[in-house]
Every structure is written in C-alpha cells, then in structure tokens.
Amino acid sequence: MNLIHIDDIEDPRLEAYTHLTELQLRNKLEPEKGIFIAESPKVIDRALAAGREPLSFLVEEPWLDGMKDEFALVDANFGPDVDVYVASPEQLKRITGYRLHRGAISAMRRWKLPSVSEICATARRVAVLENIVDHTNVGAIMRSAAALDVDAVLVTPSCADPLYRRAARVSMGTVFQVPWTRIGGDDVHAWPSPSIEELHTLGFTTAAMALTDDSISLDDLVDRLSSPSSDPQHIEKLAMVFGTEGDGLSQRTIAHTSLTVKIPMGHGVDSLNVASASAVTFWATKI
C-alpha cells in the first residue's frame, strides 16, 4: 500500500471522496469505469470478500493499525500500489459530516451488473423494489434479504442505487453478498412491462405487496408456497414486489402481477414502512 498523508481535504486526489456526487461517481454507460464509496471497515471487508476492486482508501490516522488485515488482503489480491490517504479524524469528519466508527472509507470500482436471467437462474425467491427512493430503506431491505435468505434483489430503473454510500452502510455491506441487478436496466419505460412478463417467462409468480379488494393474506401466500406441487395454486418460484414510500405500488404494476398480497394489520394500522414490510414478508416466506 502507498501511504500518503493529507494536509488539506481539498487535495485533488481526494475528489472522489469530497466533490463528486453519487450520480457523477456512477457511470451508466460503462459501469466498470464507475466508482462507489464503501464507508466503514465492515462494508469494506464485505466488499473485498466479494472481490470488489479498491481504487484507494481514506483512513483516519488512529485506525491505520486496525486496517492491517484489509491492507494485506489488498496487497495480495490487487498488488501493492493502491493508495491509502491518511487524514486526521477532524478532516474525515469534514468530508463525511459525522465522526466515523473506526474511520475508514474506500473508493472502489463498480462492476457490470448481471442480467435478470443470470441472477434468477437458480433463484426461488426474489425481491423486486419498485422506485424506492430512500437509501436507508434500500439498505435495510438488502440487509433483511441477506439475513432471511432471499436469493436475489431486483431494483427497477427509478429505484435508488444500492451502492450509494448510505445504502451500502445501512445494509452493513450485505449489498455485496446478495445478488442484485437492475430489472430493465436504466430504461424507465421497461417497468412494469415488459419486465414483469420477463419474470413470468422465467417461471416466477409475481406477488404485488399491496392493499386491494382482491388481495390475499400473507398466510395464504405461505400456504401456496408450502402446498404440494400437484396443487393448482402451488407457487414454486416467487417474486415479491414492493412499492415506493408513501404511494406504494403503481396501479400498472398491480395490474401486471399474478396476485396481490397484504400483511394483516391490527389497531387500525393500514400499512408498514416498506423496509419493515419486506422483512416480515421475507421471514414468512422462508419455507
């Protein structure tokens, strides 16, 4: 590793950390030329374990010794020429806006996302996130998906980026463990149709998580998943579709899915936060 002590956070070598927006970091046309920021050693560890390439590190000086294992792994897998910029805790706080726990962040190279057919080839349960814009919710859903063995996550073209630093941090780095891709790529006209039809072609029953007059209960959905394969209502492969904060799923999406499912509520509560609803659904359908 190349240790470089920084005197000024306006140093142009820190541009990826200080001046580039998340949109500027992401390169839609050539993802492998884009960058994402992994924030905190936990996220960095899981990114490195997944084989993600670090371009540089920015580390609080007191935590250099604590990053020895990560640096050794990088030297072994990517060579000894990766730069490590060393800053004071105060300098790093000015960049992030708050004091980091075990202060370390890394600029890493994006990768080309797999196709939907590739990511769903062996999947039985997948989650689809329609236009969820809160990065905290995206990160929380990714973490629940990892914890509850969801096989893959598909995000629609207008959904927030799972590699946004807050989303990756909230996910505790599980964004690098759960296979995910953008269904429809960046074409906003590809969702819900023909993307939902693609899921049907791949053998998935699509379940819109929504409150409609014809919604079945989550318990009914679980019964169909666990029923014998000879049962006409048996579900072999399930795609759970969750809608954006506030408005929920669009009517067009609901019209294209196989069925709609609701989580029974008490005390007059009409719905859960999407991150909570996804966790409940992932747990219940973990057959």
pLDDT at position 211, please? 86
Same domain? 126 vs 183? yes
* pLDDT-derived band at 265, boundaries 50, 70, 90: confident
98, pLDDT greater than 60: no
SS3 135: helix
Distance separating alpha carbons of residues 155 and 242, to the nearest angstrom = 10
Residue 203: which CATH number? 3.40.1280.10
Same domain? 263 vs 144? yes
pLDDT at position 29, please? 60
First to last CA, the chain: 46
Write down which residue in 109, 128, 147 finishes a domain: 109
Same domain? 155 vs 270? yes
282, pLDDT greater than 90: yes
Query: What mean pLDDT do residues 221-234 have?
Result: 96
Distance separating alpha carbons of residues 272 and 211, to the nearest angstrom = 11
Same domain? 100 vs 149? no
Q: Express each pLDDT in 136-176 by its tens digit.
A: 999 999 999 999 999 999 999 999 999 998 999 999 999 99
Q: Express each pLDDT in 54-87 by its tens digit.
A: 999 999 888 888 899 999 999 999 999 999 999 8
Same domain? 169 vs 64? no
Higher pLDDT, 138 or 248: 138
pTM to 2 decimals?
0.91
Residue 125 has φ and ψ, to the nearest 5°, of -130, 125
Same domain? 28 vs 137? no
* pLDDT-derived band at 88, boundaries 50, 70, 90: confident
Same domain? 101 vs 54? yes
Write down which residue in 109, 139, 171 finishes a domain: 109
Same domain? 211 vs 127? yes
Same domain? 27 vs 105? yes
Q: Which of 29-33, 220-224, 252-256, 259-263 has the lowest mean pLDDT?
A: 29-33
pLDDT at position 100, please? 55
Same domain? 77 vs 146? no
For the packed helices 135-147 and 274-284, what is the interaxial angle rounded to 10 degrees?
Answer: 10
Residue 40 has φ and ψ, to the nearest 5°, of 95, 145
Q: What is the number of structural domains in the chain? A: 2
Write down which residue in 82, 109, 136 finishes a domain: 109
Query: What mean pLDDT do residues 121-125 have?
Result: 97
- Give the residue from 151, 139, 141, 128 showing the smallest Cα distance to 209: 128
96, pLDDT greater than 90: no
* pLDDT-derived band at 272, boundaries 50, 70, 90: confident
Same domain? 124 vs 66? no
* pLDDT-derived band at 268, boundaries 50, 70, 90: confident
Same domain? 38 vs 98? yes
Give the range of the structural domain holding residue 256, as residue numbers without chain letter.
116-284
* pLDDT-derived band at 30, boundaries 50, 70, 90: low
* pLDDT-derived band at 97, boundaries 50, 70, 90: low
Residue 22: which CATH number? 3.30.1330.30
pLDDT at position 62, please? 86
For the packed helices 41-49 and 68-78, what is the interaxial angle rounded to 10 degrees?
Answer: 30
Pairing of strands 259-262, 205-209: parallel
Q: Express each pLDDT in 207-224 by its tens digit.
A: 999 988 899 999 999 999
101, pLDDT greater than 60: no
